């Protein structure tokens, strides 16, 4: 079957190519075989392609790319409860094998302590840019058929849901009634954080380098967020925060520009939470008034939390939230998907030119209904956390 591979991912000269890969054996027991419909691309894929940091499975030279999947069940093992035709998203991380890793042993590999976890399409396991994927049923999350046009956003939304879950747990330390959220960055993750906060009833502001008349800014304004084009000069962020009626109760740092993460600590309201979601590879040095930051955190009970990956439960909440978003802001989620490519086009994609969110179709969307099971969507869709 055709797959997008990083050839020689572990070696000296990796190359992106469409290559053949053996089809998985028929599913047994609780295994499920899924036909891929489409796969979303994000910054991690861009880095794997450009910085060559993908890691192939042990003993192999190549890595199949892709970790934001939407597929349809093709066949199930005897003990699997899903049915052929079910629309599914796929959990990305797989646990390490260390008996001492209590989080991996308890279904929370997103908190793996050994670092020996694998991630499909990223680290030590093949991804989803291929025709068929087989795995244990517990890694597939069912979506109702009406989520077909935006279900590929389940994985990135799961990242947002994990953060919101963490914020809620942290804030049980006090009586907290948040009113305002500030999102730094207007990439797909920033957009999803912003629309999530809108669904939660918060006043949402977004600060990002994209032009104020650009497609991301216009999308954000359409969902009721207040967009401000960032100025990268020194002090510009502090000046912007000074213009806000209130300091934000929650800040989502989605840019990965690390000096901003520290400026955000000061910008946060008393008792607030700053969530760091952006990664910043390489080295950067920056001078800080550490006394002032320390005072801010201590005297105002501020909390900073770093967050990566997500558990299955967050994928399930993500499905619910995406449905809620589609109801509240009809058409907003499908509009986030700005470019669609075929598998053959992937090696020539220029990641710098993607407008908002790019998706790779394994099957053209107008043919998906040949495989997605028809059902009474409202009744047949059951949900459990
Ligand atoms: Zn672990």
Q: Each residue of 114-151: pLDDT tens digit?
A: 999 999 999 999 999 999 999 999 999 999 999 999 99
Whether 382 has a pLDDT exceeding 80, the answer reads: no
Instruction: Tell me the pTM.
Output: 0.95
The rounded mean pLDDT for the chain is 95
Give the SS3 label for residue 252: strand
Q: Looking at residues 334-344, what average pLDDT do you find?
A: 97
Beta bridge partners of 15: 7
**Closest Cα partner for 194 from 165, 170, 229, 224?**
224
Q: Give the tokens for residue 337.
A: 């998907």
The H or E element spanning position 64 is strand 63-64
Whether 254 has a pLDDT exceeding 60, the answer reads: yes
The H or E element spanning position 19 is strand 15-20
Cα 336 to averaged position of ligand 1 atoms, centre (Å): 34
Q: Looking at residues 62-76, what average pLDDT do you find?
A: 97
Cα 196 to averaged position of ligand 1 atoms, centre (Å): 29
CA pair distance 364, 95, nearest whole angstrom: 33
User: What is the pLDDT at residue 385?
Assistant: 43
User: What is the pLDDT at residue 184?
Assistant: 98
Tokens 């028929």, residue located: 26
Cα 66 to averaged position of ligand 1 atoms, centre (Å): 22
Cα 115 to averaged position of ligand 1 atoms, centre (Å): 6
**Closest Cα partner for 148 from 382, 377, 384, 385?**
377
Dihedral of the CA atoms 241, 242, 246, 247 (nearest 10)?
50
Cα 62 to averaged position of ligand 1 atoms, centre (Å): 24
User: What is the pLDDT at residue 51?
Assistant: 74
Cα 112 to averaged position of ligand 1 atoms, centre (Å): 4
User: What is the pLDDT at residue 14?
Assistant: 79
Query: Each residue of 331-357: b (16+ CB within 10 Å) or e?
Result: ebbeebbeeebebeebeebeeeebebb
């Amino acid at each position: 079957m055709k797959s997008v591979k990083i050839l020689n991912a572990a070696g000296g000269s990796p190359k992106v190519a469409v290559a053949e890969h053996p089809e998985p054996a028929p599913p047994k027991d609780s295994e499920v075989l899924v036909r891929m419909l489409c796969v979303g691309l994000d910054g991690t894929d861009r880095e794997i392609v450009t910085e060559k940091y993908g890691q192939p499975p042990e003993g192999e030279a190549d890595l199949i790319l892709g970790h934001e999947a939407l597929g349809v069940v093709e066949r199930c093992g005897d003990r699997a409860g899903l049915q052929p035709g079910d629309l599914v998203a796929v959990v990305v991380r797989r646990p390490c094998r260390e008996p001492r890793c209590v989080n991996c042993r308890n279904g929370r590999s997103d908190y793996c302590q050994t670092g020996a976890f694998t991630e499909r399409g990223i680290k030590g396991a093949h991804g989803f840019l291929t025709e068929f994927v087989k795995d244990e049923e517990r890694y597939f999350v069912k979506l109702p058929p009406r989520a077909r046009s935006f279900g590929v956003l389940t994985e990135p939304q799961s990242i947002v849901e994990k953060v919101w879950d963490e914020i809620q747990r942290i804030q049980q330390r006090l009586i907290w009634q948040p009113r305002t959220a500030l999102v730094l960055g207007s990439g797909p993750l920033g957009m999803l954080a912003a629309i999530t906060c809108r669904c939660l009833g918060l006043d949402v502001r977004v600060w990002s380098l994209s032009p104020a008349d650009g497609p991301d800014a216009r999308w954000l304004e359409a969902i009721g967020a207040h967009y401000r084009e960032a100025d990268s000069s020194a002090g510009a962020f502090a000046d912007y925060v000074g213009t806000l009626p209130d300091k934000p109760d929650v800040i989502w740092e989605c840019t990965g520009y690390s000096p901003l993460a520290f400026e955000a600590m000061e910008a946060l309201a008393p008792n607030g939470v700053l969530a760091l979601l952006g990664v910043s590879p390489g080295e950067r040095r920056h001078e800080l008034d550490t006394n002032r930051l320390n005072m801010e955190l201590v005297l105002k009970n501020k909390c900073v939390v770093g967050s990566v990956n997500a558990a299955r439960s967050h994928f399930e909440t993500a499905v619910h939230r995406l449905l809620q978003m589609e109801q509240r802001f009809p058409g907003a989620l499908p509009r986030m998907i700005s470019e669609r490519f075929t598998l053959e086009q992937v090696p020539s994609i220029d990641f710098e030119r993607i407008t908002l969110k790019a998706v790779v179709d394994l099957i053209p969307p107008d043919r998906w209904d040949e495989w997605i099971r028809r059902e009474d969507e409202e009744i047949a869709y059951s949900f459990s956390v």
